[in-house]
């Protein structure tokens, strides 16, 4: 180490294939023991900066100028350096976990040298609030979104890395898990060794943890006033979605996560679903979408029986419910452009001819507030917020009656989150779209007509604080 040199970025410029500048001559420096936060609107290049620092830019992006230095020395072998030095937690934790490795093995794989002592993986899992005896043998598909995030966090922290890189660490964490993550990062501050680089839309996290803040993109230092929520709608008529006596387990056939679920949602109604990580919120949405088996119970959509497995549903029934998950990369093919990804459901679900579907894809982009030129980009070239909006546009392609939304604003900045929530509110009031939304944020739940909570294996009504209605949709810098 030379003096106080930690991580230094000098005049970094990154462009896409078309030559569009994504990051323009960025310079920053983080000394050992310091935390630096990158903030800014969706699409400003925050995640691109992280990947450039790690020497891991996705296909379609390239570093055209600038230099990355570690302890005053230019980066030579990024892959070897990452293995020995870096702990990384991305926006999509499940995508970082090998599908064939259980939680214990995933953490153990990240340990090197003397850190690989017996029990190290178990201790790392326990430190982020996971019971190794219960969850250590589970693979990623057997974990909830919040549990997968914690496994990825344990993997990132297990070796006590010199450089810790966190990309939206709070996007899928409940408050208890977030407190555990913050405690670990807090202990690194001022130790004279550890460097931490964070991307976050969470103003509270940035204010508490960061020694320095770098804002990317336009509109520096300006945030919109909190939106005045549309008053809860008085909903009448028969439920568009009704569930009676549903039981779901994780893994399928194992211990029930939720039992005897009864739920009715009417056209135009928004229902928010709260609850601790691992309590079955995301699994409930997946079961309704036909992607996770339900052991018991019945469901109807618009008065018609809804088979649980998606393969037994008619094309009309498949169109009726649309799921937008925590990880947009689950539904965006990396080999397809955004335009192709949006045109496909317009052809397969609505039977539109190819040319009409291409034009419809551009209209869907405009609907979710994205420019037409994104139609020619691949998912890897988009920011996390842009990918989430494309996933929402894809879900809307089939003109669903019910939108199943799983933490869709968690990784979005304030402006983008407000735009997405405003769009959903508009669709509710103009088209009668019903919404069942999983969230950890009471401010997002404040927009809902009703709030439910998963707890102790049951679905319960949830009482909201009057203060919730006065909070902005997201707390972000």
What CA–CA distance (Å, rounded) separates 445 from 398? Answer: 25
C-alpha torsion 232→234→237→241, nearest 10: 10
Closest CA to 395 of 341, 324, 314, 327: 324
Shared-domain flag, residues 143 and 254: no
Shared-domain flag, residues 330 and 209: no
The reply to whether 211 falls in a domain is yes
Shared-domain flag, residues 255 and 350: yes
The reply to whether 246 falls in a domain is yes
Per mean pLDDT, which of 72-81, 204-213, 372-381, 455-464 is the most reliable?
372-381
The residue among 215, 230, 257 that closes a domain is: 215
Coil, helix or strand for 85? Answer: helix
In the structure, what pLDDT confidence band is assigned to residue 253 with cuts at 50, 70 and 90?
Answer: confident
Pair 212, 196: CB distance under 8 Å: no
Shared-domain flag, residues 287 and 430: yes
Residue 173 lies in domain: 7-215
Shared-domain flag, residues 411 and 291: yes
Segment 376-392, tens digit of pLDDT: 999 988 887 788 889 99
Q: Is the pLDDT of residue 52 over 90?
A: yes
The reply to whether 296 falls in a domain is yes
18-27 average pLDDT score: 89
Q: Is the pLDDT of residue 468 over 70?
A: no
Shared-domain flag, residues 348 and 463: yes
Q: Report CA torsion sign: 212, 216, 221, 224.
A: negative
CA 241 remoteness from chain centre: 26
Q: Is the pLDDT of residue 465 over 70?
A: no
Shared-domain flag, residues 181 and 135: yes
Shared-domain flag, residues 208 and 274: no
The reply to whether 45 falls in a domain is yes
Domain containing 144 — which CATH number?
3.40.50.300
Closest CA to 92 of 145, 163, 142: 145
The reply to whether 223 falls in a domain is no
Alpha helices in 229-348 (DSSP H): 281-288, 315-320, 338-348
What pLDDT score was predicted for residue 58? 86
What pLDDT score was predicted for residue 393? 92
Pair 377, 337: CB distance under 8 Å: yes
The residue among 173, 200, 215 that closes a domain is: 215
Among the ranges given (96-105, 234-243, 432-441), the one the predictor scored with the smallest mean pLDDT? 234-243
Pair 267, 317: CB distance under 8 Å: no
Shared-domain flag, residues 249 and 173: no
What pLDDT score was predicted for residue 454? 92
The reply to whether 221 falls in a domain is no
The reply to whether 234 falls in a domain is no
* Total domains, the chain: 2
Alpha helices in 308-451 (DSSP H): 315-320, 338-348, 354-367, 384-396, 414-431, 442-445
Query: Can you give the pTM of this predicted structure?
Result: 0.65
Shared-domain flag, residues 297 and 364: yes
């Amino acid at each position: 180490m030379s003096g106080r040199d930690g991580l230094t970025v000098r005049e970094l410029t990154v462009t896409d294939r078309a030559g569009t500048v994504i990051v323009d001559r960025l310079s920053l420096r983080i000394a050992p023991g310091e935390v630096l936060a990158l903030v800014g609107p969706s699409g400003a290049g925050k995640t691109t900066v992280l990947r450039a620092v790690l020497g891991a830019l996705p296909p379609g992006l390239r570093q055209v100028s600038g230099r990355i230095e570690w302890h005053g020395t230019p980066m030579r072998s990024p892959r070897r350096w990452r293995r020995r030095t870096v702990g990384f937690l991305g926006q999509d934790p499940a995508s970082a976990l090998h599908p064939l490795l259980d939680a214990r093995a995933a953490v153990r794989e990240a340990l090197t040298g003397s850190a690989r002592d017996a029990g190290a993986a178990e201790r790392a899992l326990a430190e982020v609030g996971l019971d190794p005896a219960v969850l250590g043998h589970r693979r990623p598909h057997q974990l909830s979104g919040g549990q997968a995030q914690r496994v990825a966090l344990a993997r990132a922290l297990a070796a006590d890395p010199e450089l810790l890189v966190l990309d939206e660490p709070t996007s899928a964490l409940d408050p208890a898990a977030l407190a555990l993550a913050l405690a670990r990062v807090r202990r690194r501050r001022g130790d004279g060794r550890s460097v931490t680089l964070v991307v976050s839309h969470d103003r509270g996290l940035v204010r508490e943890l960061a020694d320095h803040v770098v804002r990317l993109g336009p509109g520096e230092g300006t945030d919109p006033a909190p939106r005045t929520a549309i008053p809860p709608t008085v909903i009448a008529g028969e439920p568009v979605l009704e569930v009676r006596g549903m039981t779901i387990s994780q893994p399928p056939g194992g211990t029930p996560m939720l039992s005897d679920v009864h739920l009715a949602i009417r056209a135009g109604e928004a229902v928010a679903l709260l609850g601790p990580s691992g309590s079955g919120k995301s699994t409930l949405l997946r079961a309704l979408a036909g992607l996770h088996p339900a052991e018991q119970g019945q469901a109807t959509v618009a008065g018609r029986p809804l088979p649980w497995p998606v393969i037994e549903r008619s094309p009309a029934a498949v169109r009726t419910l649309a799921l937008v998950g925590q990880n947009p990369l689950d539904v965006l093919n990396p080999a397809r452009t955004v335009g192709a990804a949006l045109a496909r459901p317009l052809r397969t679900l609505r039977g539109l001819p190819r040319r009409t579907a291409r034009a419809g894809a551009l209209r869907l982009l405009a609907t979710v507030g994205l420019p037409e030129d994104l139609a020619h980009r691949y998912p890897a070239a988009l920011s996390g917020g842009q990918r989430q909006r494309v996933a929402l546009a894809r879900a809307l392609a089939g003109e669903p009656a019910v939108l199943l939304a799983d933490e869709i604003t968690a990784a979005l900045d304030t402006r983008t989150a407000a735009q997405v929530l405003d769009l959903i509110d508009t669709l509710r009031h103009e088209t009668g779209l019903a919404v069942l939304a999983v969230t950890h944020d009471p401010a997002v739940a404040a927009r809902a007509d009703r709030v439910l909570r998963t707890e102790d294996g049951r679905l319960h009504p949830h009482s909201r604080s009057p203060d919730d209605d006065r909070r902005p949709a997201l707390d972000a810098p």
